[in-house]
């Protein structure tokens, strides 16, 4: 079966993509046209000082920060390089704090990276992002699934934006996001929600954020703000809330975790327009779905995965108050 792509094997297996969003605290996105090397920071256009920042952040476990290369020729400004930063605020939030910078030389990006990864989000001024930014992985040098499925989706996204005259939303090619086997994959900022196996109907729903959540929910991997088991509860609740839920501020945590990761007790507190509701639920691993799947189309690494079920959702507390939250 080696001729079958990792993405196709995952689809055939029935392995769920729920609860697989990556949980980085900070992102730095650097405008850099492809092609990109398999390890994106080894791309010849990337200077040594920025590559050294990458070596430092990826050399410390767990990895809390991420550098990605992005590009769309429609947005490029001559004689400048665009850098976007997204930083996770503490406590209650509906997403990351986003800022946009322009530098004249790519050697200047390393200092922005240090600032992004070492200082807390501050008051936003002129650099505040006023757009939504959708990243679609097209990094074929890293995994062929991302090129095979990501490039057509990227082109479809450009057409949807043009045909529907959507404003204040941008779509980017990006280097490896994580999760080849769910290709095509995407991240939406500033909220930081991850999507996989996303088709044009789901992409249109994501871009418009209106109508039924059904198509988009099938592609929803989870919200990178939350721990992975809590992502499963949030996805279940979004089916009830619909698109308005994307604007709720939340705070989630794991209460109980068994060593074999077959059981979690999780909590999610949600600030709706009228009240604060605290939910708890059991996240239970389904061992009958346990399977080894290739992590990518490159190499022989197999990842043991299983599906999880959300059971016993209950409301622990309801308060008729509004929480002052950190938001973008």
Mean pLDDT, rounded, for 112-126: 76
Question: For residue 37, what is the DSSP state?
Answer: -
What integer is the mean pLDDT of 202-231? 93
Residue 325 has pLDDT above 50, yes or no: no
Q: Is 189 helix (H, G, I), strand (E, B) or coil?
A: strand
Across residues 193-207, what is the average pLDDT? 94
CA gap 233, 310 in Å, rounded? 6
Lowest mean pLDDT among 22-31, 111-120, 263-272: 111-120
Query: Which residues in 140-219 belong to E strands, given as ranges?
Result: 169-174, 186-189, 193-195
Measured from the Cβ of residue 189, the count of other Cβ atoms closer than 10 Å reads 23
- 35: which DSSP letter? P
- In angstroms, the CA 115 to CA 276 distance is 34
End-to-end CA distance of the chain: 45
- Average pLDDT (47-76) is 95
| pLDDT for the residue numbered 9 | 73
Mean pLDDT of 157-163: 96
Residues forming a β-bridge with 67:
28
Say yes or no to pLDDT of 262 above 50: yes
Give the pLDDT of residue 326: 44
Residue tagged 């529907």 (tokens):
164
Nearest to 85 by CA among 104, 66, 103, 72: 66
pLDDT for 302: 78
DSSP 221-272: EEETTS-HHHHHHHHHHHHHH-GGGGG-EEEEEEEEE-TTSSEEEEEEEEE-
pLDDT at 60 > cutoff 90: no
Nearest to 52 by CA among 42, 62, 37: 42
Confidence of residue 299 (pLDDT cuts 50, 70, 90): low
Decide if 176 contacts 187 (C-beta within 8 A): no
Total residue length of the chain: 328
Determine the pLDDT at residue 120: 75
Q: Show Cβ contacts of residue 285 under 8 Å, excluding neighbours closer than 6 positions.
A: 261, 262, 263, 306, 307, 308
pLDDT digits (tens, 9 = 90+) for 221-252: 999 999 999 999 999 999 999 999 999 999 99
Query: 44, exposed or middle or buried, with CB in 10 Å at 0-12, 13-18, 19+?
Result: exposed
Which pLDDT value is given to residue 50? 97
The average confidence (pLDDT) of the chain is 90
Verdict on whether the full-model pTM lies above 0.85: yes
Token couple for 267: 């909590």
Please give, one letter per residue, the 3-state secondary structure of 48-111: HHHHHHHHHHHHCCCCCEEEEEEECCCCCCCCCEEEEEEECCCCCECCCEEEEEEECCHHHHHH
Q: Do strands 169-174 and 193-195 pair parallel, antiparallel, or not at all (unpaired)?
A: unpaired
Distances (CA, A) of 261 to 104, 257, 305: 48, 6, 11
pLDDT tens profile 76-86: 999 999 999 99
Cα angle 251, 255, 261 (rounded to 5 degrees) comes to 115
Closest CA to 96 of 189, 188, 178: 189
Tell me which residue has tokens 């004689």. 79
Q: How many CA atoms lie within 13 A of 30 on its CB side?
A: 29
Least confident of 4-13, 85-94, 144-153, 287-296: 4-13
Between CA 270 and CA 99, with CA 219 as vertex, the angle to 5 degrees is 60
Can you give the pLDDT at residue 258? 96
**Largest distance between two CA atoms of the chain:** 57
């Amino acid at each position: 079966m080696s001729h079958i792509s990792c993405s196709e094997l995952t689809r055939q297996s029935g392995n769920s993509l729920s609860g697989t969003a990556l949980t980085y605290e900070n992102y730095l996105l650097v405008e850099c046209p492809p092609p990109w090397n398999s390890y994106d920071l080894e791309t010849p256009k990337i200077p040594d000082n920025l590559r050294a920042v990458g070596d430092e952040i990826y050399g410390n476990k767990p990895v809390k920060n991420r550098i990605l290369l992005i590009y769309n020729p429609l947005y490029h400004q001559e004689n400048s390089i665009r850098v976007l930063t997204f930083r996770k605020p503490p406590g209650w939030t509906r997403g990351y704090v986003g800022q946009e910078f322009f530098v004249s030389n790519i050697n200047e990006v390393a200092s922005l990276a240090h600032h992004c990864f070492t200082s807390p989000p501050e008051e936003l001024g002129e650099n505040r992002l006023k757009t939504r930014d959708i990243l679609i992985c097209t990094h074929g040098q890293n995994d062929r699934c991302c090129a095979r499925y990501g490039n057509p989706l990227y082109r479809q996204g450009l057409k949807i934006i043009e045909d529907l005259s959507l404003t204040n939303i941008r779509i980017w090619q990006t280097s490896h996001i994580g999760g080849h086997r769910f290709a095509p994959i995407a991240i939406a900022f500033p909220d930081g929600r991850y999507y996989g196996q996303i088709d044009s109907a789901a992409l249109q729903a994501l871009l418009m954020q209106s109508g039924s959540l059904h198509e988009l929910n099938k592609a929803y991997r989870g919200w990178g703000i939350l721990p992975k088991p809590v992502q499963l509860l949030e996805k279940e609740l979004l089916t009830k809330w619909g698109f308005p839920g994307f604007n709720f501020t939340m705070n989630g945590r794991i209460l109980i975790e068994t060593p074999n990761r077959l059981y979690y007790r999780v909590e999610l507190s949600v600030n709706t327009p009228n009240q604060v509701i605290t939910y708890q639920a059991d996240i239970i691993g389904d061992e009958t779905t346990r399977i080894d799947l290739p992590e990518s189309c490159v190499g022989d690494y197999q990842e043991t995965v299983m599906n999880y079920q959300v059971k016993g959702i209950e409301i622990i507390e309801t308060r008729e108050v509004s929480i002052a939250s950190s938001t973008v």
